[in-house]
A and B are shown apart, each in its own frame.
Chain A
Amino acid sequence: MLFSSLLFIFIYLPIVLLIYYIVPMKWRNLFLFIINLVFYGWGEPVYIVLMLFSIALNYFCGLLVHKHLNNKRKAKRVLIICIIANLALLGFFKYYDLFAQTLSLIPGVSIASLSLSLPIGISFYTFQTMSYPIDVYRGDAQATRSFIDFGTFVALFPQLIAGPIVRYKDIADQLKIRIHDVDKFASGIRRFIIGLGKKVLIANNIGMLWGIYSSSAELSLLGSWLGIIAFSMQIYFDFSGYSDMAIGLGRMLGFEFLENFNYPYISKSITEFWRRWHMSLGTWFRDYLYIPLGGNRHGIGRQVFNIFAVWALTGFWHGASWNFLFWGIYYGLFLTIEKLFLLKKLNRAPSAIAHIYSLLVVICGWVLFSVDNVSLAGEYYKAMFGFGSGGLISTTDLYYLKNYAVMLIVGAAACLPVSKKLYNRLSSKVQGVLSPVLITVVLIFSTAYLVDSSYNPFLYFRF
């Protein structure tokens, strides 16, 4: 079930909210636990079993690690088994076919693909659950005795499908006690609707432009740039919109999640970009991979290795296709160069240069990300640098430029913090009047677009 669907907004959500606020406080987690499983099992009911297994595995491992905390060796052994089991599940369900197909390219080797459908959100919740035994081992989190609380955390529907990746330690207290009040609920609504608008009104809309160019046989210079800029906006509004909806829904249920995006496209370096883009993933890899590998504490050579290891895996986490690995390595490369010398130069350079550099690197990176066939990606780059089969500009480009000009300008403006700044400058009285109007308008238009369209693809289902 997607947040940006009529089913979720008009059936699931009102029912869940109604019952949630009727049920006494002590039963709310149990209710959430059950309703999370409904949400999760909606697309593939059999995978509820997988979810329950994943919850049980980490729940018991957490308790075992806790039990052996005075015997570090034993605790470590449990932890390693737990991590392997988690990664095995992720690896099997997400990457089996890719490896089978790749190995089958070797002459004489033939491994059948399984064509399993990817359990929704497995990339996200595997990382969430794994953080728990690790944090217990490190003493950063208390092991919980309540299976329901833990299950509620793992399958919590707001962040289940597309993050943010919430770590147990960040939310442990809220699972026991959380505040429900009018201000928090209303801010949750605002956040949800902002996210809904980003996804339905901007991402889906601009995404159609990318849809046109990604399947175009003859790419021109202008067309290829239009296409990839459209994709850059689509993926940002899609993903950050989803995070906004998750954060908003969390607040409606009394939870506070950490932020996941912070205007990434205004970055002045790639290093900064990754501090602003999918922050919960970056934090996860930093805390559970980069720092355990030694981070920057063992000399520059080791650090460069660590950067590449982390970024190759970050890329590969995004999807079961080799282009994601290349995409990760691409970022590893730029981050290393920045670490070595470029960051210092960028800090001294005029900020326009730093902005242009960062945007160009990110936009060019999206080609690797979005075109999963490497030779097609090559064709796309050729077109972007003026060597495409479609020349510099085609009449069709002019048509699409005209049709999407307003949306592209709206999208570009929404990538900047300017509207938020303007809004914050208003007096709270004006805000109080404006806010209900704005949420009504966005809600109405989003509904219209949702009703109209069967065009509601959700990009992060592959991850």
Chain B
Amino acid sequence: MSKRSNLIQIIIFIAFIATFLVILIALPDKSFSQKENRVLQTNPQFSFSALFGGDYTSHFETYITDQFPMRDTWVVLKAGSETAVGKQENNGIYLCKDGILIEPYTAPQSSKLDSRLGAINSFAMSQEIPVYFALIPSAAELWRDVLPTNAPNDSQKEIIDYTYSLSDCINIDVYTVLENHTSEYIYFHTDHHWTALGAYYGYTAIMDAMGLDYSDLSSYTPKVVSDSFYGTAHSSSGYCWVDPDRLETYVPAGSETVINYASGSAQESKIYDKAFLEVKDKYSYFFGGNTPLIQITTENADAPSLLIIRDSYMDALSPFLLENFSAIHIIDLRYYKLSLAEYITENEIDSALICYSVKNFAKDDNIFLISR
């Protein structure tokens, strides 16, 4: 090798590693990543106690990874090169037909389901009001035809059937109605949630189970609020080249009053939060994202009241319920830590609905708080 080539190689290498060091030092730290939807580690404070406790070094390492320049570009480069060598998945997301991104489902151990059933059953038995229970399958189940050939993906139907067979609640069959509409835009292509349309079908199943009337789909006028929605599956996979999703609403915001406890205290709010259309996490347009408690009062004062214990799938569905209830209380057990029994008595709730996606039902341990 000639001296010149060797020199060039040294310059390339040193420039490469030193440039990033300089950029890292020169650029101000970012405190939040929209793309990953999480708080980033900033330069940790040095102290000897942190050093010898091991915190300092581990935080510093996270700091380097989190603040690395052009983070998103590197992730996309990796996704691209994985695809180039024939991989059909990246970071746990399948790249499916037509650029649909789907997270496969992995069945939990049945003991995990049993313990959760114990919790919701004891809640249902202790309540005088009817307790409804709905498990929502994800795209991995109903759109399994678009998954890469032979790709591993466990059945969510089996989980639903198993869980329902042991549940003491009034089970709601969301599965069948969704199954009848798989050719429609019921799930986002780049996000793990269902669309407002999918949520509408879920809503009809709930109404059927409760014996309530609902409006026909044709009576709604869908409104596209964003056509550039890239969801969670898009962020974590790095498959940046797929088409964005369309975020639609079917129910217009009306005269209902919405009290949201997102900040811990009661705050007047809306069923849709426009601020989220400007950021990455557009699904939070529905109700403004994660919150312990939302209380909605509608003009239908004669209608019954409903308590919903739920995960984020409910955000897209809840607007449909406005015409059927006088008051809707939406509780997220991840953030709401008070007694549900007391809440039900105090607020004179007429019926309760436990509604989870199949995956979250087995994953979220906060569900055990239900019988508190």
Contacts and interface: CB of A to CB of B under 8 A. Distances in A.
- Same complex: yes
Interface of A: 5-7, 9-11, 13-15, 17-18, 42-46, 182-183, 185-187, 189-190, 193, 395-396, 398-399, 402-407, 410, 428-429, 431-433, 435-436, 439-440, 443-445, 447-449, 451-454
Contacts of A190: 9
A389 to B, nearest CB: 16
A184 B12 CA distance: 16
B5 interface: yes
A183 B9 contact: no
B1 A435 contact: yes
Interface of B: 1-10, 12-14, 16-18, 20-21, 24, 51-52, 54, 57, 60-61, 64-65, 68, 71, 74-75, 77-79, 81, 85-89, 91, 148-152, 238
B21 A403 contact: no
Nearest to B56: A45
A183 B8 CA distance: 11
Nearest to B22: A14
A405 B87 CA distance: 9
A440 B12 contact: yes
Nearest to B76: A448
A432 B2 contact: yes
A445 B60 CA distance: 23
Contact of B61 (A7, A46, A444, A447): A7
B75 A10 contact: no
A399 B152 contact: yes
Main secondary structure, interface of A, reads: helix
A7 B20 CA distance: 11
B75 A451 contact: yes
A185 B79 CA distance: 33
B18 A14 contact: yes
Chief secondary structure at chain B's binding surface: helix
Nearest to A397: B150
A43 B57 contact: yes
Contacts of A439: 9, 12-13
Given A428-B2, A436-B12, A452 B238 contact: yes
Given A11-B64, A402-B86, A436 B5 contact: yes
8 contacts: A7-B61, A45-B54, A186-B6, A186-B9, A189-B10, A404-B86, A432-B1, A435-B9
Given A6-B64, A439-B9, A451-B65, A183 B3 contact: yes
Given A6-B68, A452-B74, A399 B149 contact: yes
Contacts of B152: 396, 399
A205 to B, nearest CB: 8
Contacts of A396: 150, 152
A196 B3 CA distance: 24
A451 B78 contact: yes
Contacts of A431: 1, 5
Contacts of B151: 399
A203 B52 CA distance: 32
A14 B24 contact: no
Contacts of A407: 85
B89 A445 contact: no
Given A14-B21, A46-B52, A406-B85, A435 B5 contact: yes
A448 B78 contact: yes
Nearest to B52: A45
Nearest to B91: A452
A399 B6 CA distance: 43
A432 B149 contact: no
A398 B149 CA distance: 9
Nearest to A44: B54
Contacts of B89: 403
Nearest to A454: B65
A447 B74 contact: yes
A452 B75 contact: yes
Contacts of A7: 60-61, 64
Given A5-B61, A189-B10, A399-B151, 7 more contacts: A15-B21, A44-B54, A182-B6, A182-B10, A402-B150, A436-B5, A448-B75
